[in-house]
Amino acid sequence: MKTFTFAVLPGDGIGPEVMESALAVLQKSADRHGFALKHEEAPVGGAGIDQAGKALPDATLDLCRRSEAILFGSVGGPKWENLPPAEQPERASLLPLRKAFSLFANVRPGLLYAELCPASPLKSERIPEGIDMVCIRELTGGIYFGEPKTTRTLEDGDIEAIDTMVYRKSEIERIADVAIATAQGRTKKVCSVDKANVLETSVLWRKVVTEYFAQKAPEIELSHMYVDNAAMQLARDPNQFDVILTENMFGDILSDEMAVICGSLGMLCSASLGVGKNAHDLPFGLYEPAGGTAPDIAGQGIANPCAQILSAALMLRHSFGQDQAASEIESAVRQAVTDGFRTGDIAFGKEAVGTKAMTEAILERL
């Protein structure tokens, strides 16, 4: 029997609550499809600080290294907000994990079911069938990591800060590959977003993407858009996009815009794929909901488990090659919502169910 091993890092706030739901769904999926899942759990974020003195304890990192993927909850909360910035749960756990596993590709589906249109700040008539798109963001290059990165006092007493935006052809090609693979399973339409009218890195980005797509995937319809226009177009008509491919900072901003137009954070999942391959010759990845620890509702049993469950489905697809199992989970979540099961964040006047009842509804439909 095929066996997949993954690290479970539930984190803080609603993290452990929704993680329980995701694990139940994964187990049922494994039973149905005849593969085995082995997981071990370890503290991260605030739980890591409380139990082992730091947000990413050594034992947690060791567990991740022994695993083929990481299923991550979310980290942080008021209890740890007064720590120095470098020790804060998010910064001191997610960033080192991204670095340790060279997680260069952030895959963020932007999905809004038609029946949840009221959750979007956009007028429902603009998105009558909801929203279905994916943002592929380069995650380890660009202005967040380029050197020099410094602040200095000049001879005339003025102060200057410098960030450097750097991209290599090889970095652009490997993220283009992820966009190609994603588009192959969808409508074969990719929009590459840059600022090629101003930035050297964007001129290279556009050239490399154009040449790479022509060579590797000529069947995919590739378009280009400046980032300022993309921000407007997302708010005006999001369904003109299917797959957006973009660099780190532009992706940071656009993927959050995409999240807000898709309504509740409780429905949005993400994958961060690494350069390394696991024992199944598939990418090592970290899978997590787009939202945070929701301290306002933590511990009440009312969090929406869908984002965590959909993140688990992404893990099955990308790191374990179980595309059909992943699609079934996605359909079960959709069917539960269509059948009227809603947690408070997506209820809109309908009766709201708690985390457990929502999970049960999804399990029944799987």
Q: Which residues are catalytic?
A: 144, 195, 228, 252, 256
Tokens of 160: 């200057």
Give the residue with the Cβ less far from ligand NAD, 82 or 215: 82
Subset of 324-363 contacting ligand NAD (CB under 6 A): 345
Give the residue with the Cβ less far from ligand NAD, 259 or 282: 259
Strand stretches in the chain, DSSP E: 3-11, 36-41, 70-74, 103-112, 131-138, 146-153, 159-164, 189-194, 221-226, 243-246, 269-277, 283-289
Taking CB atoms, the residue at the shortest distance from ligand NAD is 292
Task: Judge whether 80 and 15 are in contact, CB under 8 Å.
Answer: no
Give CA angle at 328 (12, 27), nearest 5°: 50
Task: Judge whether 254 and 263 are in contact, CB under 8 Å.
Answer: no
**Should residue 90 be labelled a site residue for ligand NAD when binding is judged by CB under 6 A?**
yes
Subset of 107-166 contacting ligand NAD (CB under 6 A): none
Q: Is 224 exposed, middle or buried (0-12, 13-18, 19+ CB in 10 A)?
A: middle
**Should residue 266 be labelled a site residue for ligand NAD when binding is judged by CB under 6 A?**
yes
For 123, phi and psi rounded to 5 degrees?
-65, 135
**Should residue 307 be labelled a site residue for ligand NAD when binding is judged by CB under 6 A?**
yes
Give the residue with the Cβ less far from ligand NAD, 241 or 285: 285
**Should residue 43 be labelled a site residue for ligand NAD when binding is judged by CB under 6 A?**
no
CB of 347 to ligand NAD, least distance (A): 10
Among 192, 278, 293, 311, binds ligand NAD (CB under 6 A): 293
Subset of 47-76 contacting ligand NAD (CB under 6 A): 74-76
Give the residue with the Cβ less far from ligand NAD, 74 or 322: 74
In the chain the first and final C-alpha atoms are separated, in Å, by 21
Among 294, 332, 337, 361, binds ligand NAD (CB under 6 A): 294
**Should residue 291 be labelled a site residue for ligand NAD when binding is judged by CB under 6 A?**
yes
CB of 44 to ligand NAD, least distance (A): 9
Give the residue with the Cβ less far from ligand NAD, 21 or 192: 21
CA 254 to chain centroid: 13
Among 10, 57, 285, 292, binds ligand NAD (CB under 6 A): 292
| Helical axes 323-338 vs 355-365, angle rounded to 10° | 120
Four-point Cα dihedral 213, 219, 224, 229, nearest 10:
-140
Q: Is 128 exposed, middle or buried (0-12, 13-18, 19+ CB in 10 A)?
A: exposed
CB of 250 to ligand NAD, least distance (A): 19
Find the part of the chain contacting ligand NAD (CB under 6 A) among 21-29, 176-184, 204-212, 297-305: 297-305
Among 52, 203, 249, 265, binds ligand NAD (CB under 6 A): 265
CB of 307 to ligand NAD, least distance (A): 5
**Should residue 295 be labelled a site residue for ligand NAD when binding is judged by CB under 6 A?**
yes
Find the part of the chain contacting ligand NAD (CB under 6 A) among 203-211, 238-246, 275-283, 286-294: 286-294
| Helical axes 306-318 vs 355-365, angle rounded to 10° | 40
Among 97, 208, 303, 337, binds ligand NAD (CB under 6 A): 303
Classify residue 315 as left (phi > 0), alpha (psi -120 to 50) or beta: alpha
For CA atoms 256, 261, 262, 266, give the dihedral sign. positive
Judged by the rule CB under 6 A, the positions of this chain that interact with ligand NAD are 14, 18, 74-77, 90, 94, 265-266, 288, 291-297, 303-304, 307, 345
